Amino acid sequence: MARDSTRKEKLQTFKVGDFVGVKCDVQRGPFSEERLITIETVDGAISGFVNETELRKINGDWQVRGKVRSVSNETIEVWILGSFLTTNGIANVPRRLAMAA
């Protein structure tokens, strides 16, 4: 049976408490086990330092681990463990930038 190419892509289902990978840019940090990350949020880019154990690279793209705090149709609010420059680690990110962990 042929697939219907007109169907919309199925949205990933996220629930409060889930851990997700959020797409980010990664640079070296001030310590060997720490990295500086930048995440695009609905309110603009945020940057901060995370332990390298919170990161993974999939198909050439970096992701940082975040815990889902709330979910809407367009965004998810995540908490990311780290030291951020302008926030407390809470970010509203577009759903398209998050993947199930």
Q: What is the pLDDT of residues 16-33, one digit of tens each?
A: 999 999 999 999 999 999
pTM of the model: 0.84
The Cα 74–Cα 86 span in angstroms is 23
User: Residues 67, 101: contact at Cβ < 8 Å?
Assistant: no
Q: How confident is the model at residue 11 (pLDDT cuts 50, 70, 90)?
A: low
Question: Which region holds residue 73: left if phi is over 0, alpha if psi is between -120 and 50, else beta?
Answer: alpha
Chain segment 29-63, per-residue pLDDT in tens: 999 999 999 999 999 999 999 999 999 999 999 99
Q: Are 92 and 46 in contact (CB under 8 A)?
A: no
Give, in order, the Cα–Cα distances in Å from 67 to each of 10, 39, 54, 75: 21, 15, 11, 13
Q: What average pLDDT does the chain have?
A: 88
Reference 23, options 46, 39, 36; nearest CA is 39
